[in-house]
Structures are given as structure tokens and as C-alpha cells.
Amino acid sequence: MFNGLADSIWVGTKHPAEAWQWVKYAASQECADKVGEFGVVFPAQQSAVDKALAAYEGKGLDVSAFTLQATEPDGTFLFPVTDNASQITAIIDPVMESIMLGQAQAADVLPAANEEVNAVFQ
């Protein structure tokens, strides 16, 4: 699944002009290139991705597991948009964490979580 970020300004900020300047910078090629040079994420612009790849290589890190999938047809997809997403997340995340931590068996906890999610839409 595609993991993206959205630069936002809080409606209650006391510094809207400064916040707007920051958001404009955060969305710029200059910022993407700077982020890419640090090799901590893959920015959205290709030139910045190229910088990130060079930074990862310089660190001796093989990131091909991410880059190969991302370049395949349908290798990434957007997060599904759904009504009540925050309520669903609040129900499912703790259940999935308990499964991944070995604290619960999927067959034991997922049916109840499914019922809870379905109830959100009633």
C-alpha cells in the first residue's frame, strides 16, 4: 500500500503566514532533494528518489525490496477510502497488534472485531 504524507496547517495556528511558508517549502523540489540526501525516506520527486538511493547505497543498505515493488505495474496502491475509517482503525489496530505480538490467535479475535466493524455501519 502507498504511504504518503500531507502537509497541513492547523486551523488554530497563531502563525498562519509562517506555517504557509513552511508548507510551501515542504512541498518543494528543494526540500525533497534535501530529504533524499539524508536517505531516510523516499521522496515523491524522482530526482530526490535518486538522491535517496545514492544515500542508501552509501550507507551500504539494499533497499531493492521497496524500489522493485514500487516500479512494478500495480506495485503500489492508495489506502482504501472508507466511511468511519477512524472508528475502524480504533477497533482493528489493537486486535492486529495482539495477533502480531502472539498475544491472541487470529481465529479467536477477528470474528468479534469483524462484528464490531460491521456494527459501525448499522
Q: What is the pLDDT of residue 1?
A: 63
Give this prediction's pTM.
0.60
pLDDT category at 13 given cuts 50, 70, 90 is: very high
Q: Nearest Cα to 36, choosing from 52, 60, 55, 56?
A: 52
The per-residue pLDDT for 2 is: 66
**pLDDT, tens only, 38-77:** 999 888 889 999 999 999 999 999 999 888 888 888 888 8
Percent of the chain with pLDDT over 90: 74
Distance CA 78, CA 30 (A): 25
Q: What was the pLDDT predicted at 82?
A: 86
Higher pLDDT, 114 or 70: 114
